Structure 1
Amino acid sequence: MAGNPSQAANRAPLEKIRQVSAVINPLAGSVPDDARARLDAVLSEFSVPVRYEIMDHDCEAACERARAHGSDAIIVWGGDGTLACALNTLGPDSPPILPLAGGTMNMLPKIVHDEAEDREACLRRVLRAPTVLELAAGEVEGHRFYVGALLGGLTRLAAPREALRKADIVRAVAEFTESNAFGLDTPMHYHIDPDGTANGSDQAQALGIFLSDDPARPGFDVLAAAPENLFDLAYTGLTGLLDDWRRAAGVERVSARTVTVDALASTGLEATLDGEPVTLARNAKFELIEGAARLLAARKA
């Protein structure tokens, strides 16, 4: 789900970062054991003092403590779940959040930092030329997401995809076999609101609701796949497992600001929100929240 951060349409230059707080989740998938030492090394280059909060199992409390320090920015180093927690806890009225990739998929850091994976390099670029991005969010049943939501049986591919990213082929095969991701048992009916560029209803076997990357058109990009048979669904699913399922054949794209989804033969909707699995009610309404959070990124030349 990589892309550019243009869905964070409003950019405000920041002259200099004078002090930061840092929230580190040592339990996240790819946060190194020496994360604190690495941050110290980079921040000392710019003479920026830092106060640390090391997460245990209470992300909200760690973020609240970081906010209380009164810093110019809050570095959050963790996975997608940690970053979503920080954005939801701190909100747009707190110091901007500088996300560093520390998980498996790292969707938000890839968007904010233009897919860069080197955490120290990202931090140096931001410290040299910081800018604040205003980020929109999607909301459903009290849950917020900042990159995208996937709905339907293909969301079961999350576990084997994570195993593949960790190069655990045996586990990936086992997870894939158990997932039943290609079962034709999750049809959905979705409705696009009349304020979007498209208006109407349709059915889909897999549905993606992503924050738009067009600053002139804030809203959702809705991608729907309605394969006619198991082979078509398997092709779409394997594309999602190995690459980005939005590139698969048979996926249609429309725009909206509100999307209502009904599971036609289920007690609930299987979904992942920014990579985190959740079960939603059989009828779910996705709404756009503008100005939901502020992020810190490097100013472009």
Structure 2
Amino acid sequence: MNRVIILVNPLSGGVGPQAAEEAEAILSVYDLEATVVTLEGAKIPDQIAEALDARPDVLFVLAGDGTARSVATRAGPKGPLIAPLPGGTMNMLPKALYGTGDWKLALRRALEEGAPQAVSGGVIEGEAFYCAAILGAPALWAPAREAMRTGKLKLAWMHGRRALRRAFSGHIRFSLDGGAKRRAEALVLISPMISKAMDEPVGLEAAAMTTSDAAQAFRLAAHALFDDWRHDASVTTQPARRITVWARSKIPAVIDGEPMLLGREASIRFLPRAFMALAPLPPAAEDSV
């Protein structure tokens, strides 16, 4: 590893105005040719393209969750190694790769302990995800939880009321790998990197939630995404490579921590090798080396 580029967006929530200088200071300790690029608003797409075209050995990304996903998606499995550092709000992908929300610690871990590893994931209507996607009414709780986390109580209340109004207005229907149509309150698709139910990247872990009342739905939604809700009697899981989801209205979703609204029908497929990351190997992989 000789040439590295780090893209820094100082305006992202978890970065800060001094991040570029701090990154330069950390990188100066290592025997590397390092370039630090400060991302600037409308120039960001071109700056990302230029960084990828430069073909560095590793492209670090210290920016929001959406920017990190965009860079990883554009790099693909044949692009340079990608190291998405925790600079966003949810930081689901960086935390899964580096086990920390501290970008400086993640940067050092990548440089000192990192090895190339394939990251699998999924793609839904052109949007890639590498950790998890929540489809259905419980996804509406995500904006409320985020507003509460940042202390915006009035906004949290507004989002919470909207979620309650829509939570039981309709179910979603889904099919796994061309199988029979099933109905659920929500469908959660979890990547092999995150899933505790799969030892090999054979597909996405599809977890169907079938709740019976508002209190139960709120309890499940209140748990962290990878908490113990999958052990609940109202949740069933199985691996799948192709998933189709239907609903009578547009489907609310949270993709790697980012809320969005899908159409009334959505198709999802498994990406066994979405991009190559520079990150410490999982303990099981280290033991096999």
TM-score normalised to the size of structure 2?
A: 0.87
Q: Determine the structure 2 residue equivalent to 1:9.
A: none
Alignment of 1:84-163 (within 5 A): 84-113=69-98, 115-163=99-147
Maintained 8 Å contact 2:73/2:128: yes
Q: Aligned to 1:252, what secondary structure does the other structure show?
A: strand
Separation of aligned partners in 1, 2:160 and 2:268: 28
CA RMSD of superposed structures (Å): 2.4
**How far apart are residue 248 of structure 1 and its match?**
5.1
Alignment partner for residue 185 of structure 2, among 205, 223, 237? 205
1:34 corresponds to: 18
Tell me the CA shift for residue 75 of structure 1. 0.6
Kept after mapping to 2: 8 A contact 1:60/1:89: no
Q: Does 1:282 align with 2:264?
A: yes
Q: Structure 1 vs Structure 2: percent identity of aligned residues?
A: 29
1:206 maps to a residue whose letter is A
What CA distance in whole angstroms lies between the structure 1 residues aligned with 2:245 and 2:209?
A: 14
Which runs of 5 or more structure 1 residues have no equivalent in the other structure?
A: 1-16
> Could you list the runs of 5+ residues in structure 2 that have no partner in the other structure?
none
Question: How many Å separate the matches in 1 of 2:227 and 2:112?
Answer: 33
2:110 & 2:226 partners in 1: Cα distance?
31
Separation in 1 of the partners of 2:55 and 2:177?
Answer: 41
TM-superposed deviation, 1:249: 5.2
1:233 maps to which of 201, 217, 220: 217
Contact 1:160 1:241 in 2 (8 A): no
How many residues matched? Answer: 278
User: Which one of the candidate residues 57, 64, 73 is aligned to 2:58?
Assistant: 73
Residue 281 of structure 1 aligns to a residue whose secondary structure is coil
Letter in 2 for 1:75: F
Residue 95 and residue 246 in structure 1: after superposition, are their counterparts in 2 closer, same or farther (change >3 A)?
Answer: same
Assess if the C-alpha contact under 8 Å between 2:120 and 2:192 holds in 1.
no
CA distance in 2, matches of 1:203, 1:36: 48
> Which one-letter code corresponds to 2:255 in the other structure?
L
Counterpart for residue 39 of structure 2: 55
Counterpart residue number, 2:27: 43
**25-34 or 175-184: which moved more?**
175-184
Amino acid at match of 1:251: V
* Structure 1 counterpart SS, 2:272: strand
Q: 1:112·1:297 contact (CA, 8 Å) conserved in 2?
A: yes
Q: CA deviation at 1:247?
A: 5.7
Do 1:25 and 1:82's aligned partners in 2 also have CA atoms closer than 8 Å?
A: no
Deviation at residue 57 of structure 1 after TM alignment: 3.1
Q: How does 1:237-248 map to 2 (within 5 A)?
A: 237-239=221-223, 246=230
Change in 2 beyond 3 A, CA 1:220/1:122: same
Residues 74-98 of structure 1, C-alpha deviations (whole Å, 9 max, x = no match):
0101121111111122222221111
The separation in 1 between residues aligned to 2:225 and 2:4, in whole angstroms, is 37
SS in structure 2 opposite 1:177? helix
Q: What is the deviation of 1:151? A: 0.8
Match of 2:167 in 1: 183
- The one-letter code of the counterpart of 1:86 is V
Q: What residue identity is the alignment partner of 1:209?
A: L
Secondary structure, aligned partner of 1:255:
strand
CA distance in 2 between partners of 1:83 and 1:248 (Å) = 32
Q: Which amino acid in 1 is paired with 2:254? A: T
What secondary structure does 2:245 align onto?
strand
- Name the stretch that deviates more: 233-242 or 142-151: 233-242
Instruction: State the partner residue of 2:204.
Output: 220
Q: Does the CA contact (< 8 Å) of 1:60 and 1:86 recur in 2?
A: no
C-alpha distance after superposition, 1:239-271 (max 9, x if no partner): 3599675465522212111111111x22x2221
